[in-house]
Structure 1
């Protein structure tokens, strides 16, 4: 089996910059150039005694590194900023495509990389700080690490076109959660989950999001570039519920996926899973 080529320092710098907002990469490029350029052009005092040779060698080495670094670090930062900007544009485009689509099958047409980007953007717009690990591959590992209110959540994405997600995947995530000290976890799939998987997730703070629910979540989180839809205001018992009785956060309409109320609509707290407040819709 061919061994994966290891990245060099320059590529690592690009990856780090790509994880930041694009403007942060540009800022780092400017600051690093001016700071390193100052050291690269500074005069080095020649030693006048043997005791000063060590300090002189260190200064020469530092100047040499600054000479190369004043160009390499800004260049890597600019390239990373471009990658970040492109990624942001692509995430927005994926979100818009799914929001406009009328079928859940649109998720199956994505590559696994696009699916992970879409899921990450949905969580990001839900108020989480999202770190894309990039190490999951087409099938395996934790794909996203979420942080919100000092709590950590792990996300595993399963973009499977033909298979149900079984209990093995849920068990693996639960083990990683325990080892990593995560508060909770999410398994997100474009398909569905087996009954065994649903049963195991119960009571373990693992939320299972299937394709239909993911599409519903994405529709609730509209991009800022989309003008809000104007709908007539209808005062009903259901629409009167606007805030969570537990924490006061806005509530969103959801459909029960399991249990005795499967298929019925209810109001769920938008701060889920931190708050699990619900209100029935009569």
Structure 2
């Protein structure tokens, strides 16, 4: 059985927040326990901050290679100014660096990636669209099923609607946008 944490739980929110927020919570809990509890219980009360320390360490580890706001803005600007041919070549180079064999497709899926016998279809042609809706994701799932691929990826710079996000979760679609897209292409465009 696979455990899935609620996206709205305190720990999930802290994992997505800057790492230092968890450490501030540890300090607040320790100070409050030291000030409000009797001396014989203060140490035990301070240990109540330990889960937040662990979450802070996990968040710090996850965020260690994220681009700064300026680097993110520069990368997104560069990506949005590209034409399809250059963007497609950039993605092909990025995926090849990760060990994938890339085959270009026509239709709902733009690329087929293969690595260790596992097929993944990628939709990226609508990367500049202002919003990503469910219909293009349905087409991608149909392409995945037709090609008997295990995974599918949709790349976008636009806003992802709540329905599209929900549909992606339900249908095993990986959405790559914003910071993830900049990280995927960073070595190739040399912005970081």
Q: How high is the TM-score relative to the length of structure 1?
A: 0.39
Contact 2:129 2:156 in 1 (8 A): no
Aligned-residue offset at 1:110: 0.5
Q: How many Å separate the matches in 1 of 2:73 and 2:130?
A: 22
- 2:92 corresponding residue in structure 1: 120
Alignment of 1:189-268 (within 5 A): 189-219=156-186, 222=187
- Work out which of the two has the higher radius of gyration on C-alpha atoms and give 1 or 2: 1
Which structure features the higher share of helix residues?
Answer: 2
Aligned-residue offset at 1:204: 2.2
Aligned-residue offset at 1:172: 0.8
- 1:37 corresponding residue in structure 2: none
Q: How many Å separate the matches in 1 of 2:172 and 2:96?
A: 20
Runs of 4+ in 1 over 4 A off after TM superposition: none
Contact 1:143 1:157 in 2 (8 A): yes
What is the DSSP-based 3-state SS (H/G/I as helix, E as strand, rest coil) of the residue aligned with 1:142?
coil
Q: How many Å separate the matches in 1 of 2:114 and 2:149?
A: 10
- Given candidates 124, 130, 134, the residue that maps to 1:163 is 130
- Given candidates 55, 58, 74, the residue that maps to 1:102 is 74
Q: How high is the TM-score relative to the length of structure 2?
A: 0.55
1:183 aligns with 2:150: yes
Specify every segment of 5 or more residues in structure 1 that has no aligned partner in the other structure, as ranges. 1-98, 230-282
Aligned-residue offset at 1:126: 1.1
What is the DSSP-based 3-state SS (H/G/I as helix, E as strand, rest coil) of the residue aligned with 1:110?
coil
Q: How many residues align?
A: 120
What is the DSSP-based 3-state SS (H/G/I as helix, E as strand, rest coil) of the residue aligned with 2:174?
strand
Contact 2:104 2:112 in 1 (8 A): yes
Distance 1:163 1:115, change over 3 A: same
- Give the alignment's Cα RMSD to 1 decimal: 2.5
What is the DSSP-based 3-state SS (H/G/I as helix, E as strand, rest coil) of the residue aligned with 2:130?
coil
Aligned-residue offset at 1:159: 4.2
Contact 1:188 1:210 in 2 (8 A): yes
Q: How many Å separate the matches in 1 of 2:117 and 2:75?
A: 36
Specify every segment of 5 or more residues in structure 2 that has no aligned partner in the other structure, as ranges. 1-70
